[in-house]
Structure formats: C-alpha cells, structure tokens
A and B are shown apart, each in its own frame.
Chain A
C-alpha cells in the first residue's frame, strides 16, 4: 500500500530522481577529513535547538513577572522539562563551538578562496546572527545572570559617539532592561533569528552545491565517493561524537550553563558581584576591559571583524596550503592564541 502511494507520487513529482541527483549519484571527493563534517553537525545541532525551543515555548511566559517562574516550572515540574531545557542551553554553546571549529578549518585549509568567497561571507553573517541568538536567548529566563549580563552586553554600543545612547535605548526598548527588552528579545529569539539562520544556511548550502565542495589542499580530489551512504556515514561518526559531548555536559556538568546567579530571579535594583558573559563573549569582554577607552575598544573589535569578513578579498593568492603561507599562518595562530588567552583571562579576572 505504502509502496503504491510512493510510486504514484514518484510518477508525478520524480522523487527518486531527486534522491539520485542529490544523494546517491551526488559524488564528493574521497579525501575529505572530519573537519568537512562540521557543517552536518551544525545542521543537526540547529535542528535540536529548533525542536527543543518549540517544546520550551509551550510553557515559557515572556513576561517579567512570570518568565523566571515559568522557566523554573519547566525545569522542576514538567516531565523531562529539565532535559529539554538543558539540551537547549548547552546545545547553543556547542553550536557556537562547532561553528568556530568549522570556520577555523575553512581558514586553515584556505577554503574561503575563489570560487568560494560567498560561502565565507554567508558563514560570517551566520556567526554574527548566531551570537545575536545566544544573546537574546540569554535574557529569556529573566534570572539575575541573564538580566545583568544583558544589561552589560547592551551597554557597549553606548560608547559610540552621538548615536550610542539612542542605540542602547532602541535595542532595549526602554532605559533599563525591562519588559520592552524581554518582548523584543523574545520575538527575535523565537522567530526572526531562527528564520534568518534557516535562510542563510540554505544560501550557504546552495552556493556550496553550485561551486562544488572544496577538497583539502593536500589532496587532488580526483577520487570520488557517493554522498549517500558513504560520506553520510563519515558525517554520522562526527555527529554522534558531538551528540555524546552534548549529553555528557547535559547529564554530568549542567552547571556550565547554569551558575548560581542563573538560579535567582532578576532583581533590577541589585547587581550581583562578578557578572560575566558566556564564554564566547569573554575575549571581547576582556579586551574592552583592557583598552582604556571603550569606543576605541569597539573600533578595534570592529576592525578585526572587518578583516575577518573581507578575508577572501584581501587574500587572493591561489596557494591554500598553510605551510606555504607563513605570514598568514602566524597571524591566524597568534589570533587564536590571543582569543584563548583573553577568554581564560576574562573568566578568571
């Protein structure tokens, strides 16, 4: 019966043709390493975030008087609510980590070079949008941590001359972080941003299919394997490794996303000591602390972001092997070391 229905549909819309063209008869280079599976891991993690987010929405109340209680209710009273919330929170951290790894591998293997510049531009925008998602989602539990971390994070643009104060006011929807801020961040977090990431990811995959997948610079890419099932199995190995990591943190180290200040409801009249942003903002946070002028700090970070974004236009040489590009390799190495040092420093400062 099912087969007959499938055949009838296939006769009309040629489903098998799509399967052959995009999966079984779609060939990718045989020498791809595990770094090439990061995109698949990101798609899986994004799907997990969407699914867990939809389930959290069933009980979450986006109002300052009820948000914290609704989140506590999800964690303590709703069956498996604690699990869904932890997977959502820790999954977001893992998503950022894998996105960093994905971009790192593209950097090292020179995969951003012609004809794949658009992949890089779209990937950078996805990173920016992802960090915005994390920031907006951070406020929603309306805990002391979320309230004050959001207050600090949304204060940074205030140092921009002329429009800074207006920008902060516009982002928050009011002077201090308030119901207006929660409403804005909630709308962004649950609808605008996931939709944007979905569109950007579709563009990313579309341009990858049009240009073809890149190969590691040390292979010639002549030997090919079918995408399904051969390469999908390689993807699955890496996907299950990261899923294992996710659940190790969910079950054994949940405090990584839920420190003590995350367990108290927000009090807009009392700032707790030692408020710090999430780990992926620590380097920016520490850098802004070190630079004596806040605006100068923002300019510095903007300059770094500018060079990273426009890298394909600045680095046009064909050579992709990193050991043949010592200046580039040194800059990347020092950049990563600086990021790690600032992150650790920001954590312990």
Chain B
C-alpha cells in the first residue's frame, strides 16, 4: 500500500513536471515573438511620415517641423539661422510639443506643459527636459541626429 502511494506520488509529480516543462518550452517562442525588435543601426536621419528625408532647406527661420527619427517624433527649429533638434515627445505623457515662436517656447497641448528653446521644462507637469540632439547636415541637406 505504502509502495503504491509513493509510486502514485511519483507519477503525479512526473505528470506535473512533464506538463510544466512542455508549457515552458512552448512559451519561449511566443514570448520572444512579442518582444519588439530594436531599430537597425545606421544614420539616424530625420524623415517625414512617408519615410522620406527632411531636408535642411525645408525649415525656415523661426519655423519648426516635426518628423520621425529612430527615437520617435522629433522637432527641429531654426533660430538665428541655426538648426536645433529636440525630441517632440512631452516627458509628461507622450503628447507632441509645438514650437511657439512668439514666446520662444515648446508647448504641450495635452496638459499645458512648457519647455524653453533648449528643451528645459519650465512650467506645468513635465518632470524632465526634452531630449536634445546634435545635428549634422550632409551635402544633400539630409539631417542626421545624434543624442547630445
């Protein structure tokens, strides 16, 4: 009887172990399927919604333009002839900031967060400054970005 019980216990554990191991083996490919891919290497070019490069000449003095970089939506402004690039994603809840030339600030329309022209958070709920990028413009006028 005792031998039967221990044999039964062993078989129960064996069934549990086999099913558990099977579940783990099956789970691995499904979990890896869900993990997003990192973006590929190469130049971090600023592009429009159709993935075409935005050119230096597209951005006028005191104007702004929002495009995509590998890090997400990015805003570029031209002040005193010089280009400045910052992440357009508000550090509060991810809405996109707009450049307000009259005030010289970036404004988030969702919760009225404000950042100065250097990206520093100056008013409202944003907890951190905007990410600033260094800019390189190639011969064709394409804008490449690198975190400052």
A→B interface (CB under 8 Å): 148, 151-152, 154-156, 158-159, 169-170, 172-176, 180, 184, 267-275, 289, 293-294
Bin chain B's interface residue count. 20 to 34
In the complex, A173 Cα to B88 Cα: how many Å? 19
Q: Is the CB of A273 within 8 A of B94?
A: no
Tell me whether B45 is interfacial, beta carbon within 8 Å. Answer: no
B98: A residues at CB distance < 8 A: 271
Tell me whether B19 is interfacial, beta carbon within 8 Å. Answer: no
Tell me whether B36 is interfacial, beta carbon within 8 Å. Answer: yes
Q: Smallest Cβ distance from B99 to chain A, in angstroms? A: 12
Q: Is the CB of B36 within 8 A of A271?
A: no
Residues facing A in B11-56 (CB within 8 A) are 34-36, 39, 49
B→A interface (CB under 8 Å): 34-36, 39, 49, 66-68, 71-73, 88-89, 92-96, 98, 108-111, 125, 127
Q: Which residue of B lies closest to A173 (CB)?
A: B36
Q: Which residue of A lies closest to B75 (CB)?
A: A269
Q: Using A155-B93, A176-B89 as known contacts, list a sample of 16 further A-B pairs with CB atoms less than 8 Å apart, ordered by residue number in A.
A: A152-B93, A155-B92, A155-B94, A159-B127, A169-B36, A175-B39, A176-B73, A184-B34, A268-B73, A269-B66, A271-B96, A271-B109, A272-B109, A273-B110, A289-B111, A294-B92
Q: Smallest Cβ distance from B143 to chain A, in angstroms? A: 15
Q: Of residues B67, B72, B94, which shows the largest number of chain A Cβ atoms within 10 Å of its Cβ?
A: B94
Q: Smallest Cβ distance from B50 to chain A, in angstroms? A: 11
A174/B73 contact (C-beta < 8 A), A269-B67, A273-B109 known: no
A184: B residues at CB distance < 8 A: 34
Indicate which residue in B34, B71, B94 contacts A152 across the interface (CB closer than 8 Å): B94
Q: Which residue of A lies closest to B39 (CB)?
A: A175
In the complex, A289 Cα to B110 Cα: how many Å? 11
Q: Is the CB of B72 within 8 A of A275?
A: no
Q: Is the CB of B125 within 8 A of A271?
A: no
Indicate which residue in A154, A169, A174, A275 contacts B95 across the interface (CB closer than 8 Å): A275
B72: A residues at CB distance < 8 A: 175-176
In the complex, A315 Cα to B16 Cα: how many Å? 36
Q: Of residues B68, B92, B98, B110, which shows the largest number of chain A Cβ atoms within 10 Å of its Cβ?
A: B110
Indicate which residue in B39, B49, B109 contacts A274 across the interface (CB closer than 8 Å): B109
B93: A residues at CB distance < 8 A: 151-152, 155-156
Q: Smallest Cβ distance from A164 to chain B, in angstroms? A: 12
A180: B residues at CB distance < 8 A: 36
Q: Which residue of B lies closest to A181 (CB)?
A: B36
In the complex, A176 Cα to B94 Cα: how many Å? 9
Q: Is the CB of A269 within 8 A of B95?
A: no
Q: Which residue of B lies closest to A291 (CB)?
A: B125
Q: Is the CB of B49 within 8 A of A289?
A: no
B127: A residues at CB distance < 8 A: 159, 293-294
Q: Is the CB of B66 within 8 A of A151?
A: no
Q: Of residues B92, B98, B108, which shows the largest number of chain A Cβ atoms within 10 Å of its Cβ?
A: B92
Q: Smallest Cβ distance from B8 to chain A, in angstroms? A: 28
Q: Is the CB of B94 within 8 A of A289?
A: no
In the complex, A151 Cα to B92 Cα: how many Å? 11
Q: Of residues A151, A159, A174, which shows the largest number of chain B Cβ atoms within 10 Å of its Cβ?
A: A151
In the complex, A173 Cα to B73 Cα: how many Å? 16
Q: Smallest Cβ distance from A278 to chain B, in angstroms? A: 16
Sample of 7 A–B contacts (CB below 8 Å): A154-B94, A173-B36, A175-B71, A175-B72, A268-B68, A273-B109, A275-B95
Indicate which residue in A169, A269, A270, A289 contacts B125 across the interface (CB closer than 8 Å): A289
In the complex, A176 Cα to B92 Cα: how many Å? 14
B96: A residues at CB distance < 8 A: 269-271
Q: Of residues B35, B39, B67, B95, which shows the largest number of chain A Cβ atoms within 10 Å of its Cβ?
A: B95
In the complex, A172 Cα to B108 Cα: how many Å? 21
Q: Smallest Cβ distance from B67 to chain A, in angstroms? A: 7
A293: B residues at CB distance < 8 A: 127
Q: Smallest Cβ distance from A191 to chain B, in angstroms? A: 14
In the complex, A289 Cα to B34 Cα: how many Å? 31
Indicate which residue in B35, B108, B111 contacts A170 across the interface (CB closer than 8 Å): B35
B125: A residues at CB distance < 8 A: 289
Q: Is the CB of A151 within 8 A of B36?
A: no
Q: Which residue of B lies closest to A269 (CB)?
A: B66
In the complex, A184 Cα to B34 Cα: how many Å? 9
Q: Which residue of A lies closest to B38 (CB)?
A: A169
Q: Is the CB of B36 within 8 A of A174?
A: yes
